[in-house]
Structures are given as structure tokens and as C-alpha cells.
Structure 1
Amino acid sequence: MSNSEAPHSRRVSTASDGLVHSSGGAGAGTRSRRSSMSGRSIRAPQIEMRGATSPLARAGIKSDNLMLFITCFASIGVLLFGYDQGVMSAIITGPYFKQYFHQPTSYEIGTMVAILEVGAFITSLACGTLADIFGRKNTLFWGAVIFSIGGVVQTFTTGFLMMVIGRIIAGFGVGILSMIVPTYQSEISPAENRGKLACIEFTGNIVGYASSVWFDYACSFLPGHLSWRLPLSIQSVLGIVLAAGSLLLPESPRWLLDNDRDEEGMRVLADLHGGGDPSEPRARLEFREIKENVVFIRTQGDRSYWSMWRRYRYRTLIAMSGQMFAQLNGINVISYYAPLVFEAAGWIGRDAILMAGINALIYIASTVPPWYLVDRWGRRPILLSGAVVMAVALGLCGWFLYIDAWYTPRAVVGCVIVFNAAFGYSWGPIPWLLPPEIMPLAFRAKGASLSTATNWLFNWIVGEATPVLQEVITWRLYPMHAFFCVCSFVVVYFFYPESAGVPLEEMGTIFGEEEGPVPQGDEEEEEEGLTEEELQARPIRRSISSHPRFQSEEERAARAAASKVAAAERARPSRLPSRLGRLFGSNAQAPDRRLYESLSRDEQ
């Protein structure tokens, strides 16, 4: 497909030899020959790199260095909405801000803070389709541009209405960035450290939040309205930097292959996994695995939201519920209104902002341990332990505010810091990692858009309601959010499978779903030594490193034996009650992951 062709011009046909071939518009015949089927699998195209790669690769930044650069730079995208979430928390307590907006009521403050989520909700839904049409890279660029425009409007606001309009426009940009950055990150990351890279990205979000709080604190010493206009202007500067830098990034190889731009996709994979060498086996196997999945998905037909809900309801509910609980668990009571929380506890004025800044630094530190734990422990243990600590911290926070003793201010600060640290380690990064990770390629952008829209919907509800609830139910607000933490523990324990280390193209295995064929041998030895039954009952491959191409004959034989046990495990009937079983699917439980522990240890 040429760059000007629309994605829907692709078609799927079944040739007389019974193999599935992909075709498209002009040039499809050439691509079909270059990516022709051999036996059971697609061959990677033979290409020359030359100058048709990203500017970063041409500058010599490839493989792990390229992956790390992309992760760190894409983190600016989440840094932006982290900064935007925190920047309002401190300026709303400033005397010049209150004077300019005529001592705004709690309802007006709630609207100025939370209206951003309305804009974010709208664009996060729309991006599910736009990202599939225009690509991940272009969507990232325009999200940064729109965010910058919103920052300019807020900086030069002339009153309440203009501030609200600026927050909505910035929200449009935030909705785009918060949906596209995790999707882009998941599609370029190898399975064995996909979680780590996503957690590094989340740290960027918290760095943005902490930066906004400390910048607000520094600007609080400035005279006049510059004390709150200057922090708002930084949003535009960061947005422009991200927009310019996004032009250097490569496009997602999975999006390129899904749009039949095979040679471009192969070049990106060569830069990411082959050090710029398109003949490197790991890059070619990654190409074949992705393309096999693309061809299989096209045989499934409709790629609408309704089709996603009908076929992948269980995955979609997990993606949405994770983001819902991330907000109901109480984080934005702290992120948006930390100075107000500390003022209620007895820290007044600039001291409240200082306490929020100290809390933000500890918040950053708490996001570092998941870098090393998320791919070793897995997603479930981190979410479960985080929910327990958060519930206890919020319950104690409410208790100390209730008794209103001499030590209440310090005790509340301690509880808030513990809560923030637990969230930063668990329910902060993981709900952003899961949606693009567990959704199949055909519905990855749409699934991420629904989950992100869920985030911003509940973000808005919490942001709008918090200043009012702080006045009406006072200390009871915190035990209420502690209750939601307990609910999130129960949901994760009973319904969330473990997805750590599972390749994106094999994610359906842990949900008991039928997935497309995955190449098990190299191009010259198609599926050597594996029977049809063993191919259908293959165990989970945790990364491209465990591909049979890189295993000895003994390891292949052991894997084939383990596959039979895995098949029996997947065939077991669901233990869910009948109604839940109909909702999530009869085979919704995950296979026993102990079957794969020895394989995981070998790979690590």
C-alpha cells in the first residue's frame, strides 16, 4: 500500500493452496512476493537499509539505545499530562490567583481543575480510530501541538471562562497523548522488558507532576499574577519540545505491517532488534510473528468497537476496570488537591505547597522499584500489594483527621506519603501498561482508547467531586476511597490473569482464546520437529529469546512435552459462576504459569 492509500483498502483472500495471503492496492503483488508464504509462515522481505530509516537510526542510535531513547522521549508525552495535573494543585491556593478569579468557590475550583478531563475523554475515544488511520507517530505529534495551544490560552486567560476553554483544549491534547504514548510504547517494546519500559514511562509522568509542584512553589515567591501565569506557560514549552522531537521517532512497526508497509516495518524492526541489520534472525522472526498475526486477524472480519466488545469482552473489561480503580482508589484527591489536603490538616499557605513538593519527590522514588519488579514478579502481585497498602494509608488518614489531635498534621502527611508511594509503585503504572499489552493488534488502539476514556471519565468525577466532598463529608472522604482499594484487590485477585513476559501476538493464550499461527522455526526449517497437535498446543513463549530458532534440540523437545500439559490446562472448564462465566467467557482463566517458570528462569 502506498502512503496515500487508506487502510480499509486491504483485503484478505484464500489462495487455492489453502494458505492465507494479504493483498492491497497498487504494489500489492510486489509485496506479496516479497513477503510470500513458505510452507506455513510468511517470509521477511529482503531489503536494503540505506537512508529510509528514522533520523535517530541514521545518527547511529540503534537497538537498546534506540529503545531507551524512544522510551525516555515518549515519556515527555506522559510528563505533559503529569505536569498539567499538578500545576493547578498549587496555584489555586495562591493569593494572587484567588484575587484574580474573585475568590472562586469550591464549585468553580473543581470546574477549572476537572474540566480538562472532559476534553481528554472526548479525544481519547476518538483516537481509537484516528491512531489506526493516521499512525501512532502522527497522532503523537498532533496531540503535542493541541496541548501547546491549550497552554497558551491558559497562560493569557482573561477570566474564568477563558481558563475553562484553555483547560478543555489542553484536555484534548492530554487525551490524545495519554492514549497514544502507552500504545506506541507497547508496540515497539520486546516482551521480556515491556513492563520495565512502560514503568520508566510512568516515572516521566510523576516527574512532570513533581516538577509542576516545585515550580509552583518557586513561583509563589514572585510578585503579582506572574506567580501563577508562569507555571501555566511551561505547558506550551514542553508541548513544543515533544512535537518537534516526535518527528525524529520511527513509526510503530506493528502499525506499518498492519497497513502493508512491510519494507518500512522491516527497517524499523532491524533498527530495534537487529542493530540496523535486516538479515539478523531476531528482527526477521519478529517480522514474521507480527505479520502472521496481521494476516490471521484479517480473516476475522469486522474491526469495529462492537466487534471488539463481542469478541474480546473479558480483555476490554480488564483494560477499563484497571483505569477506573486507579482513579477511585483516591490518587487524584492527592494529585489535584494535595495543598488543600495539607491545609485541612493544619499546614497553611506556602507550607502546604512545600509539603506537597516533598510528597512529590517521594512519589517519584516510589515509581523506580517497578522498573525491576514488574517483569520478574508480574503485574498481579504488584497491584494486589499496592491495593492493601493504599487502603490502610487512606483509612488511617481519615482516622487522624477525625480525631484532630496535636499530631494530626504530621500524621496526615505521613499517611499521604505512604499512599502516594504505594500508588506510584502499583496502581500508577500498571493500569497504563495493561490495556495496550493485552489487546490484540486489530483492536489495540480502540481498546486503549476505551480504557483511557474510562480513566478520564472517573478522573473528572473525582476531580469535580473532591473539593465539594471535602467540605460536606470531611474526613469520611478517605475511608470511602479506602473501600475502593479493597474492591480493586478483590477484582484483581479473582479476574486478572498474569501477562508478564507474554509476547503481544500470543496474549490470547492467557485468556483461553484462539489466536493466529505463530512461527516456531526459522525460514529454512519451517516448524521442524513439531507436529500439528504440538503447534496448536504450544506453551507460552515469554520472549523472542525463547523462540525455537535459538534453542537446542533438547530444549525444543522439552517445550513440545510441556505444550501437551498446557493444552490440558487450557481445556479445563471455567470455575466461574454461570453468570460471570457468560460475561467473561467459558475459558477465561489463565493457564497454570508454574508450567513456564523454568523457561522464564532460563531466559532471564
Structure 2
Amino acid sequence: MNPTISTRPSDSSPVRRRNSRLVGKPLLYTISAFISIGVFLFGYDQGVMSGIITGPYFRKFFGFPGPIQVGTMVAVLEIGALVTSLASGTIGDIVGRRGTLFIGAVIFTIGGLIQTFTVGFGTMVFGRIVSGFGVGLLSTIVPIYQSEISPADHRGALACMEFTFNIVGYSSSVWLDYICSFIDSDLAWRLPLSIQSLIGLILAVGCIAIPESPRWLIDTSRDDEGLGVIADLHGGGNSDHPMVRAEYDEIREKVRQERQSGENRSYSAMWSRYKKRVLLAMSSQAFAQLNGINVVSYYARMRYFELQAGWIGRDAILMTGINSVIYVLSTIPPWILIDRWGRRAILMSGAVVMATALMATGWWMYVDVPATPNAVVICIIIFNAAFGFSWGPIPWLYPPEIMPLMFRAKGVSLSTATNWAFNYVVGQSTPYLQEMIAWRLYPMHGFFCVCSFVLVYPETTGVPLEEMDEVFGEGSRPR
């Protein structure tokens, strides 16, 4: 990277702008909706796999696989995601946010095609790993890109809209599984898998049209391009708009300060200076998993709707679909509230409701009375809604907010890797724990909800990304 700072474009020099019909908020919202396809994809994958693995044609094709084989096919994607989420910090700094998004979409599309046309267990696992590589890149870079193009006053709302797309992906795949359950052939599982490749291809092609992150452009000494993107996003295409100039100058000044500090951009340098921020970013993603969402997401259909409430087969998919709609609806209120109430209030209120729902789930399973099946299902629906309102969206928003520009990609890569690592651990351990400790599993995750309530996350609502040093009491870097 060029260590020098390019000269600010003079007011008399025209800034090259992108050819675009959209400017201002229409452009911002269009880009936000489009890149949310990236999080839609890994929500879709989670839902589609939980549905097809119990289908008769899927099980017959793979020779009626046992629990270890099924668990491998599901969880191996998270291993791939863990690998590339760690690498995405470096990739995102080198090729940019848009380039990383494109690479992730292409890889995910290829992985989906391998799964769709699989000839056996081995190729299915390979396809899942390849898709996981794409998911790791997408799940890291989409929140970074979103935070870097969003204005401070509704950055939270846009991030929450992004999370809603993730749950819409999950819900749509469940309903597609339900529709395809009426197909009497291998298309019942190959068709849902093929759809994700089509969506991935749309994302890859669309990446050509969206702008690069203005902060990455300025950080790589492409100031004119960065100013042009800021003007299109926040100034109606006018590079002389006062708000555009103020944001541009603030970003450039932050870049200048970071370069004059003489620090390199290694992970060790990030850990040395920003240890607290890195730990907060990682813990937010860890608690998002430890709070119990994947105990519900991976095993809701089998454990709650089939074994507890007695819904079997297609009826179980239908009830899972109804639950997923409630889950989607729960993610909408934060669009309005997150930039009003703040991050902390929503996280704390969500933790209280989630802990209560999980404790109640464990109690109803312990007493095991006739009302238990329906009571457990109600508790799980309440839990899902509370998670969708709070600990679902905010752990994806918080890490890119609190990390400085020079370490943002690397810091978010560690937090996202934490998500996939704990996702894998919880997913793999849950069947064993359900057998060994039974109803106690749910109060255990309720305890983690209580821990997440106690942990203090500094409030970041309305704070520009370049001013996060003040939130953490670090002040401005010396010039």
C-alpha cells in the first residue's frame, strides 16, 4: 500500500463520478438490499439443509446415512466458513470489499452446484466445504461493507435490515422444503439446493455494478474515487455538499493519523493496541451462539415439533415454517428502535426474555405434564422472537462499528471466525447433551443469556466510525 496521502481534490477540479441512475438514499437502500443477498444465502443454507436431510429421497440416495454422516454433511460447511473468515481480513484489505464479495459469491455458487449434482457422500461433503469457503468470505465482508457505506444516524437500522434478509433466507428455504416435499423424486432435495446457486450467481454478477467502499478507496490513496462514492451515497451526487466534504475530510484525517502512527497492519499489532475491542467483537459473536439459537435452529423440527408436540413429517416442516415467519417478523422492530434505544438496551432486554424462555423450557420438560408439548413450543417461539429482535442482528453490526479502519477487516474476520467456531461446537455437542443432561440443556443456555446481560458493551449509537476512539476513552491518535 502506498504510504503517502494523496492531495485532496481541489474544489475547482471535477471529481469523476460513477454513471448511476440512483444517488442519495435510493442508491444507499438499493445497495444495502442487494448486498444482503450475501447474508440471505447462509440463512437459506441453514434452513434448506435442516429440511432435506430428513426427506425420504435424500436419505435413500445416500444409503440411509447415520447420525455421524448427517452431522458431517451439515457441520462441515462451518469448518470451511471458519477457514475463510480468518483469511478474509487479509483478502478484504488487498482486493477490497467489493472484490471479496464477488469472490465469495462465485465460490458459494460453485459449491452449490457441486451439492446439486452430487453423486455421493464424498462429493456432497466436498461441495459443502466449498460453499463454506464462500460463506466465510460473505459473512465477514457484508457487515464491513454495510457499516462503511452507512451514515451514522441510521447505520444500525440498515444493519438490522440486513439481518432480516438472513432470516428471510432461512424462512424461504423452509417453505421451499415444504413445497418440494410433495415431489416424488430426487428433485425434492436437488431443487432447493440448486436455487442457492442461482441466487449466488445473481450476487456475483451484481457485484460488478455496485461501488467500492469509500473508506477502503481513501485508505488505498484513491481519494477521488472515494469522494465520488461518498457524494453519490450522501450528497445526491454533489461532491461539494457540506456533509460530503465533512465526511470525506474526517475519513482522510483518520487515515493520515493511522499512517503517521507507524503501526503495521498485522494481527499482532491489532491485538496489542485494540485488545479490548477485539475481545468485545469476538464475545458478541460467541454469546450469539452460546445463548442457544442453534440448539433451536438445528433441532427445532426434530426435537420440538416432532418429539415434543407430535407433529410428524410434512406437518413438522409446516410448523417450522410458521415459526420462521414469526422469527422474520421479530427482526423488523429493531429497524426503528436500534438507532433510538441504542445497542445496549436492545441486547439487555433480549437477553432477559431469552433467559426466561429457556429456563421455562427446561422447567416444562422437567415436570413433563400433558401441557408440556405445547408449552415448550410456545417458549421456543418466544425465544426465537427475542433473539431475532436483539442478539441476532447486533453481533453482526457491532464488530465493524468498533474496529478502526486499518484493522476493521482483520478484527471482523476474528469475530466472524468466532461465530462459526461456536456455531460448530454448539451444533455438534447439542445431540450428545440432549441425551446426557436432557432438560438441563436449556437452563444451561439460559445461564449464558444471563452472562451476556451482565457483560458491558459500550454504546455506539450515532457515533461516526472515525470517532470510536472517544467511545473507548482513547481519544485521538497523536499526529
- Counterpart selection for 1:443 from 397, 404, 407: 407
Of 249, 254, 260, the residue aligned with 1:293 is 254
The superposition leaves residues 290-316 of structure 1 with CA deviations (integer Å, 9 ceiling, x where unpaired) of: 000000000222111111111001110
Matches within 5 A, 1:114-125: 114-125=75-86
Match of 1:370 in 2: 334
Per-residue deviation, residues 386-441 of structure 1 (Å, max 9, x unmatched): 01111111122222233333232222221111000000000000000000000000
Paired with 2:49 and 2:192, the residues of 1 have a C-alpha distance of: 9
User: 439, 448, 461: which is aligned to 1:475?
Assistant: 439
Matched, 1:64 2:25: yes
Contact 2:214 2:230 in 1 (8 A): yes
Maintained 8 Å contact 2:40/2:167? yes
Corresponding residue for residue 116 of structure 2: 155
Alignment match of 1:454 (pick from 401, 415, 418): 418
Amino acid aligned to 1:323:
Q
Which of the residues 301, 305, 316 maps onto 1:339? 301
Which residue is equivalent to 1:324?
A: 286
Check the 8 A contact 1:292/1:516 in 2, yes or no.
no
Deviation (angstroms), 1:46: 4.9
1:185-584 aligned at under 5 Å gives the runs: 185-300=146-261, 301-341=263-303, 342-345=305-308, 346-491=310-455, 495-516=456-477
Between the aligned partners of 2:241 and 2:344, the Cα distance in structure 1 is 35
Match of residue 575 from structure 1:
none
How much does 1:336 deviate?
Answer: 2.1
Deviation, structure 1 residue 470: 2.8
Given the alignment, which residue of 28, 36, 52 partners 1:91? Answer: 52
Equivalent AA in structure 2 for residue 428 of structure 1:
G
Once residues 359 and 392 of structure 2 are traced to their aligned partners in structure 1, the CA distance between those partners, rounded to angstroms, is: 19
Q: Secondary structure at the match of 1:48?
A: coil
Shift of 1:104: 2.4
Question: Which of 32, 44, 48 in structure 1 is aligned with 2:14?
Answer: 48
Whether 1:143 aligns to 2:104 is yes
CA contact (8 A) 2:174 2:321 kept: yes
Once the two structures are TM-superposed, the CA of residue 474 in structure 1 deviates from its matched residue by 2.9
**Cα deviation, residue 45, structure 1:** 6.0
The answer to whether the Cα contact below 8 Å between 1:106 and 1:467 also exists between their aligned partners in 2 is: no
Whole-Å Cα distance in 2 between the matches of residues 292 and 130 of structure 1? 24
Is this contact kept in 1: 2:39–2:162, CA < 8 A? Answer: yes
CA contact (8 A) 1:46 1:278 kept: no
Return the alpha-carbon distance in structure 1 between the equivalents of residues 419 and 230 of structure 2: 32
3-state DSSP of counterpart to 1:135: helix
Paired amino acid for 1:198 = A
Residue identity opposite 1:48 in structure 2: P
Task: Tell me which moved more, 163-172 or 464-473.
Answer: 464-473
**Do 1:118 and 1:168's aligned partners in 2 also have CA atoms closer than 8 Å?**
yes
Between 431-440 and 152-161, the greater mean CA deviation after superposition: 152-161
8 Å contact kept, 2:277–2:402: yes
- Preserved contact between residue 80 and residue 130 of structure 2 (Cα < 8 Å): yes
Q: Partner letter of residue 28 of structure 2?
A: M
Q: Does 1:76 align with 2:76?
A: no
Structure 1 pair 442/260, CA: closer, same or farther in 2 (3 Å)? same
Cα shift at 1:47 = 4.1
* Counterpart Cα distance in 1 of 2:307 and 2:11: 64
What's the RMSD between the two structures over aligned residues? 1.5
**2:15–2:227 CA contact under 8 A, matched in 1:** no
After TM superposition, give the deviation of residue 218 of structure 1 in Å: 0.8
Q: Is contact 1:49-1:276 (8 Å) kept?
A: no
State the identity as a percent. 63
Unaligned runs of 5+ in 1: 1-6, 12-21, 24-30, 36-43, 519-604
CA contact (8 A) 1:110 1:466 kept: no
2:157–2:339 CA contact under 8 A, matched in 1: yes
After TM superposition, the score normalised by the length of structure 1 is: 0.77
Q: For the structure 1 residues 68 and 371, does the alpha-carbon distance in structure 2 shift closer, same or farther, using more than 3 Å as the test?
A: same
Q: Which has the higher contact order (CA 8 A, sep 6+)?
A: 2
Runs of at least 5 residues in structure 2 that lack an aligned partner in the other structure? none
In structure 2, do the counterparts of structure 1 residues 118 and 89 end up closer, same or farther at CA, with 3 Å as the change threshold?
Answer: same
Separation of aligned partners in 2, 1:165 and 1:241: 23
C-alpha contact (below 8 Å) 1:157/1:163 kept by paired residues:
yes
